[in-house]
Structure formats: structure tokens, C-alpha cells
Amino acid sequence: MNVMRHLRVPNSKVEGVLAQMKAEQWLAIGFRVIPDEDGTHRLLPISTEAPSELPGLTSAYEVELVEGRADERPSSDWWKHLKEILGEEEVAFHGESWPSNHEFIGDIMIVRIDEALRAHTKAIAKAKMHSHPHVRLVMDDKGVQGELRIRDLEPIGCRNGDHVLTSDFPPHLIETRVMVRESGRSILCDPTRAYFSTKLQAERLETLALAKELRSLLGRPIRVCDPFCGVGPALATLLGEPDLVGDLLASDLNPDAVEMLFDNLRRWDRRNYPSETTPLSRIHEDRAVGIADATKLHEAPDTSGSWDLLLVNLPHRTVEFLPSLVPLLDRTGPSMVRGRVITAESEIEEANEAIRKALPPRLQGTPEPTLKIKRDYSSTLRLCSFEAWIAPMPEK
């Protein structure tokens, strides 16, 4: 599942809007225009790189978050190349096992190769690179590992001028530090050193909408705590909104992520940040940034009880960590927890109960925190998210 932004345009205007989106490079490549159920509109897929506001378009038409429909046409090119290299019979023999999906992180393509197809790794790399001329490097993804959630990635193909190499890679051609454009901002990341996923743009835009609601409720910029921030993609979106973020705490256990976070904040926040990784400290009066263990933050008097919005983005441990994170909220007024959770589909109700038990009472008039499935994590596990509006602590 890949939920993404779509512009809902009346059929009669589709041609003109498509032309404008193509000219501005706002149209998502590899995704299709979807007919709306009402028969009078179409949903045009918006590129993740496009700014959050599309001048002249987002003011005129609604933006909807719906699952993108992959366009099979570009991939037909990859099948053609694969068949040229391996022959029709071998390709047909492995049927659905071929990695027809992939993820782009800047000019890097990430694919997951089935164990049974390892012997064809070089052919896969070549066919992918021939069918995607803008790709510089193809990497095989062996999955996210360890507490720092870093992907185990192995280069399997890279471009050297007009040639595609599938072994003996010169180090300068397999550089993995890249700039990714999202919602009009540049995010520095390195998927071999810190967690990063381009598939979370819709999630980040939903968080932005919730943060704006919280700001309206409180009537002032909000204090945001992102203690599993990685290289900071959630903050790219929040800091892009004027007068939304007041005080900010951004920390992570991974020193490499923090090093890139400093670089990112320097650009997004237009202020100085250290060039070396440092433990969590007040870099500016309203910016606490650095390496920290999120479960220990509540022990420090200046970080405990100080935040309006808490982001909990360590989905395989969110429920377990919530009790140590809740004390970070400022309970003198309403606050919010926004989190992601991985759970078996059959255990969603149990997880809902565990979340409700771990959190303080909800704000009157707001719904119970409830997990919404965002996409498949494996054949049985689902990646879900929730938001919880928290009531102020009653005065004694």
C-alpha cells in the first residue's frame, strides 16, 4: 500500500491541470490517474517531491490521500530488458517472484530480491538500470535490522558513464549519501547509516494537519518532541509551516542519524548547528537536539513535562515504550501523542487496548486512540498509526 496525495480535478479540467503538473514536475511518475467514484472527477497523483501547496492548484482543487495506483507501463520496459538478458522461458519460470516493485531514495533504487532469484542478481540490476536511466545505483534490500532500524543494503549495480557495472564497484560510484526532495524540501539521508523511508510522506502530511489542529486548540505555536527523529523527515514538514513549531526536541540513539539531522536542520531552520554529532543539548534557546535514549528523557527535569506534541516512531516497540514517554507531555493543557505501531492484523484490538491503557485519559469530545492500518509490513503484520488527544491533568 502506498497512500499518496492526489488532486481531485473535474474531468473537463484534467487535460490542462495535467499539462501544468507535468511542466512543474509535480506529477508522480509511475502512478496512474484514477477515475473518482462520482464519475465526474479524476484523481491526479502528486509527486512526493512537490511542495505541500501547489500554487494555483491546491487552492482551486481538493487534495485527497488515497492509495496510489502503480502504472505498469514503465515496468513493462524492465520485463523487456530482463527477457532479453535471460530469455522468455527463465523469466516465465519464476513468475511472480521477480522484484517488479522498487523504492527510489534520490537516485538510488532499492529492490528486494527473493532468495530463489539470487543467481539472477546481476541480470536484475542490469534490467532495472536499463529501464530507469536516471538511477545511479541499485541496491538489494535484505531488511531493516537492529535497534537503529538500519537497512542491510548491498550494491548490485551502478552506472559508470554509459556502462552498467554489476561487480567490482569503485567506491566513488556507490556513494549512498543522497539528497531526497519531499514536499518542496531537501532531506539529506544515507539509507546504509540511518533509517529513512520515502513511503511515509502521506503520514507526515497527516501529522502536519493534526499539529495545526493542536495549534488552533492551544492558540499558540506548539512544543514538539520527536525522540526517534532519525534524520528528521517529520520535522522537515512541520518546520515548513510558519509559526507552527515553538520549542523543539529532536533526538535519536543513532549518532549517524544525528549528524545528518544537524545538516538538515541547518537548511530547514536557517540557523547554525554543530558539524559533529553531540549528545542531546540546547543548541538554541528553542532547539534541543542530539543523541539520546528516548526512554531516559523523562529523567531530565528540563525535558520532562514540557511538550504539546509527542511523536513516537519506533513502530515495533511503541506500545512497550509509551509508559516511559508519556511523562514528557505537558499535562497542564491538552496535548497529543502521534505514533506508529506494527502488529498482526488479528491483534489490532489488543494493541488498541494496550495503547489506551498506557496513555492518560483522552481529551473530552475526541475519539478513542485507534490504530488505522497504513500498509502491509509482511504477510501477517500491518503498519498502523494512531493519534491520541490527551486531557490536562485535573488540578489537585
Ligand X SMILES: C[S@@+](CC[C@H](N)C(=O)[O-])C[C@H]1O[C@@H](n2cnc3c(N)ncnc32)[C@H](O)[C@@H]1O
Q: Select the residue interacting with ligand X from 196, 262, 307, 389 (CB under 6 A).
A: 196
Q: Select the residue interacting with ligand X from 46, 188, 229, 384 (CB under 6 A).
A: 229
Beta strands in 216-307 (DSSP E): 222-226, 245-252, 281-284, 287-291
* Residue 230 Cβ vs ligand X, minimum distance, rounded to whole Å: 3
Q: Select the residue interacting with ligand X from 45, 106, 191, 233 (CB under 6 A).
A: 233
Q: Which amino acid is at 279?
A: P
Order the strands of the 372-376 sheet from edge to edge.
281-284, 287-291, 245-252, 222-226, 309-312, 335-344, 381-390, 372-376
Q: How far apart are CA 96 and CA 382, in angstroms?
A: 22
Does 295 interact with ligand X (rule: CB under 6 A)?
yes
Q: Looking only at residues 239 through 258 of this chain, which bind ligand X when binding is defined by CB under 6 A?
A: 252-254, 257
Q: How many CB atoms lie within 10 A of CB 133?
A: 7
Q: How far apart are CA 262 and CA 171, in angstroms?
A: 25
Find out whether 24 and 60 touch, Cβ atoms under 8 Å. Answer: no
Does 312 interact with ligand X (rule: CB under 6 A)?
no
Note every long-range contact of 164-170, with CB atoms under 8 Å and residues 24 or more positions apart, other chains counting: 164/125, 164/126, 164/129, 164/130, 166/121, 166/122, 166/125, 166/126, 167/122
* Residue 143 Cβ vs ligand X, minimum distance, rounded to whole Å: 13
121/237 with CB nearer ligand X:
237
Q: How far is CA 27 from CA 17, 32, 65, 373, in A?
A: 10, 10, 15, 26
Q: Using CB atoms, what's the residue nearest to ligand X? A: 230
* Residue 200 Cβ vs ligand X, minimum distance, rounded to whole Å: 6
33/144 with CB nearer ligand X:
144
Considering CB under 6 A, how many residues would be counted as binding ligand X?
Answer: 22
150/158 with CB nearer ligand X:
150
**Which helix H or strand E contains 319, and what residues bound it?**
helix 318-325
Does 314 interact with ligand X (rule: CB under 6 A)?
yes
Q: Select the residue interacting with ligand X from 155, 191, 221, 230 (CB under 6 A).
A: 230
121/198 with CB nearer ligand X:
198
Q: How many CB atoms lie within 10 A of CB 118?
A: 10
105/137 with CB nearer ligand X:
105
190/252 with CB nearer ligand X:
252
Q: How far apart are CA 134 and CA 125, in angstroms?
A: 14
* Residue 321 Cβ vs ligand X, minimum distance, rounded to whole Å: 7
* Residue 359 Cβ vs ligand X, minimum distance, rounded to whole Å: 19
Q: Which amino acid is at 380?
A: T
Does 268 interact with ligand X (rule: CB under 6 A)?
no
Q: Tell me which residues touch ligand X (CB under 6 A).
A: 147-149, 194-196, 200, 227-230, 233-234, 252-254, 257, 293-295, 313-314
